[in-house]
Amino acid sequence: MRFYIIALLTLAQFITFAQKQPCKFEINTTDSLGVYKETPSHLVYEKVFGNSSQLVFLSIGSDNSTPFLKLQIIQKSKDFIIPKCIDKNSRIYFQLTNGKIYTLVNASNDKCDNLIFNETDKENNRLLDCTFLFLKNDFEDLKKFPIMLMKIKLASDEKEYIISKELISEKINTKSNPESFFIDNLHCIMN
């Protein structure tokens, strides 16, 4: 009898820990136009070198059951920063640990990042904010396998980002798990 009680308690504990974390939304609205959901931005890449830094944020959302990915690239430097632009040919590629590659296409208008001068820190800041759409509706591997590599093809250049398991930010003092971005968030917009 004790064996069954211990087994039952162990199974209950396993099920409790196996549950996905509750979803958090930056926007979650339903109106006459439909349902719009978007998760908060997650830091997936940070590079600090000398007096410059680059931060890459992702959030995922759904507009009337059409999933999308929002990308934000923030660059900061005391020196001149070369602008980044997107056009109709811009893409994001995600390679998962199982080798599968997902391609997302630009859904934003052609545009370049905005230059904002921070008078307090005497620093140039550039912000590129754009939206990408998934090419296929097969999300099973994204729900199961971590991201290994992200490649962003902009209008004038391409950059690859190695996605880490854990990222402790120097700039915004946060801790995140970039490689599990889709595993942790995709289920939130698929409901």
pLDDT of 2 above 70? no
pLDDT of 19 above 60? no
Q: What domain range is 79 assigned to?
A: 24-189
pTM: 0.84
Q: How many domains does the chain have?
A: 1
pLDDT of 4 above 50? no
Integer angstrom CA distances of residue 99 from 58, 94, 138, 147, 149: 21, 10, 15, 10, 10
pLDDT of 5 above 80? no
CB 57 within 8 A of CB 71: yes
Percent pLDDT > 90 in the chain is 70
Determine, yes or no, domain membership for 4.
Answer: no
Determine, yes or no, domain membership for 11.
Answer: no
For all residues of the chain together, what is the average pLDDT? 87
Determine, yes or no, domain membership for 71.
Answer: yes
Determine, yes or no, domain membership for 108.
Answer: yes
Determine, yes or no, domain membership for 131.
Answer: yes
Looking up residue 42, the CATH number of its domain turns out to be 2.60.40
Of 44, 41, 37, 70, the C-alpha closest to 190 is 37
CB 124 within 8 A of CB 81: yes
Largest CA distance in the chain: 73
Determine, yes or no, domain membership for 6.
Answer: no
Determine, yes or no, domain membership for 73.
Answer: yes
Determine, yes or no, domain membership for 7.
Answer: no
pLDDT band at 25 (very low <50, low <70, confident <90, very high): confident
Amino acid at 162: I
Amino acid at 3: F
Tens of pLDDT, residues 140-175:
999 999 999 999 999 989 999 999 999 999 989 999
User: 8-22, 99-113, 124-138: which has the minimum mean pLDDT?
Assistant: 8-22
CB 18 within 8 A of CB 10: no
pLDDT band at 22 (very low <50, low <70, confident <90, very high): confident
Question: For 157, how many CA atoms within 13 A lie in the half-sphere containing its CB?
Answer: 6
pLDDT value, residue 146: 97
Of 114, 132, 131, the C-alpha closest to 76 is 114
pLDDT value, residue 178: 96
Span 117-131, average pLDDT? 92
